[in-house]
Chains A and B, each alone.
Chain A
Amino acid sequence: MSATLERGFKSWAERTATSLRGDLGLSPNDQLRPSALATFLQVLLWTPLDVPDLPPDVLYQLVKKDPWGWSAVSVLQGGAAVVIYNPRHSIGRRSSDIVHELAHLILGHDPARLIMAHDGSFVMRSYDQKDEDEANWLAWALLLPKEGLLACKRRNRTVAEIAEQFVVTESLVNFRLRMTGVEAQLRAASRYRRK
């Protein structure tokens, strides 16, 4: 999934995440609350229910009819930003959705281009896989720092316990354990001790 990432980006993201978490006063073992990061970045967090005058049919489509078809949207206007997240997702998934949007803002990614049809209806948007991959990597490093993962595994915490501690999904824990090299590092250490 990270085939588009440039060499060095992952290390940069891990370092940036560590530094940002430090600015928020978090240790590697602490949960990152998306609302704390949003406040730090001066970004508002809304759900569709908070959008003034949103027509009921729009609300119905996003919250009732197709709640699994979208995760979050960030809207930028004159330097101000609002992240609107899907309240129907689990708390772990919501964390990932919101921090992904905040990562786009941290990374200064260009917003998507929206195309409207002649009749005024919206039809499609641009999509940049590289931007999405970068935002994912930075968001996941912010939510689950490598150092914190390593500490948990050294204390023999299960995947479920780690997910609960950091308030993320178990699939994200498994992914980070593989991708950060924590599992491989611990396996190598265990082999060394047995010798």
Chain B
Amino acid sequence: MPRQPLESLGAMVREKRGKKKLRETAKEIGIGPATLMRVENGRIPDVETFGKICIWLKKDPGSLLGFTPDATSTPMQGLVSPSISAHFRSDRTPEPATVDALAKMVLYTLKAQPRSSDSDV
């Protein structure tokens, strides 16, 4: 199944919204207008927002993430990595490069054996 890059999400949303008002479209999707604006500007949404947008776009989330669709699973199932446990404090729709860097930092932290606590804040 060809993957539509996730970066094209904003363009797809903008195209489907057309001349419809931002606020009206956001309400239709079930998200806030500021979040919709950020997604249209290329920011990556959180999972819940992504799910709502996919439903509104009538797109399979897997097609945007490069997964082969599984007829037995619901749209968002099977996309979650169960091995990573982390809380993040950042913008709700951060820069894609920052999201990727944060995730890599989590993976490297998980690989490391926690050593002594020497931070003093």
Contacts and interface: CB of A to CB of B under 8 A. Distances in A.
Contact of B101 (A62, A105, A123): A62
B91 to A, nearest CB: 6
B30 to A, nearest CB: 13
Interface residues of A, number: 64
Contacts of B116: 44
Contact of A123 (B6, B98, B112): B6
B24 interface: no
B28 interface: no
Interface in A42-83: 43-48, 50-55, 57-58, 61-62, 65-66, 69-77, 80, 82
Contacts of A75: 85-86, 106, 109-110
Interface string B82-117: 001111111110111111111111101111101111
Contact of A61 (B80, B91, B98): B98
Interface in A103-159: 104-105, 109, 111-119, 121-127, 132, 135
A38 interface: yes
A55 B107 CA distance: 11
Contacts of B45: 124
Given A116-B103, A123-B100, 19 more contacts: A44-B117, A51-B105, A51-B112, A54-B108, A55-B104, A58-B108, A70-B91, A70-B98, A75-B85, A75-B86, A75-B109, A82-B114, A115-B79, A115-B80, A122-B100, A122-B102, A126-B48, A127-B46, A127-B48
Interface of B: 3, 6, 44-50, 65-67, 79-81, 84-92, 94-106, 108-112, 114-117, 119-121
13 contacts: A51-B108, A54-B108, A61-B97, A66-B98, A71-B90, A73-B86, A85-B121, A112-B88, A115-B79, A118-B66, A122-B100, A124-B46, A126-B47
